Amino acid sequence: MTCPSDETLVLFADSEDNQPTAELTAHLDSCTACDERVRELRLALSEWRSTDLVDADSYSADYFAPIGADIERALDLSTAREAPRVVTGASLWWQRPALAAAVAAALLIAVGLLRAPPQSTAGPEAALATTESLEEVARELGRGLLDAASEDALVDDQTSLSFLASWNLDQAELFDELPPLPLTTTLADEFDLLSAEQVDSLIKRL
């Protein structure tokens, strides 16, 4: 084999994972000049890589935090200009993961409670609880979750009203109008979303 082109040697030297042909390998084994050229190129490329054109180490994470914040702020404004936000109960709450999770948790808990009344381990008061009181507990729980999830004020009263209305089983037509919830987890999983205080509160109420 005659000596390969300089381009071949550069590309071979640059890519450690570049699989050389058997012919090239054999040539490098026998040609001192090409082997030396590859060694020299590897050294140079390694030096250049380790010598950045900018002093990247002097830019810490703190430097980038405000840049990221500016982008997020600008995106909010940009989105607002692009598509003015029309807040309706049915359009917003299910599009936001935190809210969707909160709604899903509350829904599942309530459905679970309604379908599986407390066992004998529950106290006498709980045993006398009516469907209405259970539903009321679920409503309050859901309201609390919504409040917690909407701290960034992107959810308005209309959303809460829509959510609460969805709890009213007599208003099934409104419930049916809502897009399907992304319910991909079990009731137990959804329960994990609740804080210990919320679970304690729920148990005490029951």
Partner 1 sequence: MFAQLVQQHQRSVFFLAMRLSRGDEQLSRDMVQKSFLQAWSHREGFRGEASFKTWLLRIARNLILNELGRAWRQRELLPDPSDGGSPAPLGHVEAQAFELLEAKEKRLMLQEAVAALSDRQREVAILRLYHDLSFAEVAEICGITTNNAKVNFHHAVRGIKKFLATQGVAA
For binding to partner 1 (CB under 8 A), which residues are involved? 6-7, 10-11, 14, 41, 43-45, 47-49, 51-56, 59, 64, 67-68, 70-72, 74-75, 78-79, 82
Q: Which is nearer to partner 1, 96 or 139 (CB)?
A: 96
Q: Which is nearer to partner 1, 41 or 122 (CB)?
A: 41
The helix, strand and coil proportions of the chain, stated in percent and rounded to the nearest 5, come to: 70, 0, 30
DSSP 8-class letter at 180: P
* Smallest gap from residue 23 Cβ to partner 1 (A): 19
* Smallest gap from residue 88 Cβ to partner 1 (A): 23
C-alpha dist (Å) from residue 184 to 62, 96, 181, 190: 37, 15, 9, 10
* Smallest gap from residue 69 Cβ to partner 1 (A): 9
- Cα 179 from Cα 95, distance rounded (Å): 10
- Cα 168 from Cα 131, distance rounded (Å): 12
Q: Which is nearer to partner 1, 50 or 130 (CB)?
A: 50
Q: Which is nearer to partner 1, 154 or 206 (CB)?
A: 154
* Smallest gap from residue 53 Cβ to partner 1 (A): 5
> Which residue in 103, 119, 120 sits closest to 111, CA to CA?
103
DSSP 8-class letter at 171: G
* Smallest gap from residue 38 Cβ to partner 1 (A): 12
* Smallest gap from residue 21 Cβ to partner 1 (A): 16
Q: Which is nearer to partner 1, 63 or 173 (CB)?
A: 63
> Which residue in 108, 109, 100, 98 sits closest to 148, CA to CA?
98
Alpha helix positions (H), 16-86:
22-30, 32-50, 61-82
Q: Which is nearer to partner 1, 47 or 197 (CB)?
A: 47
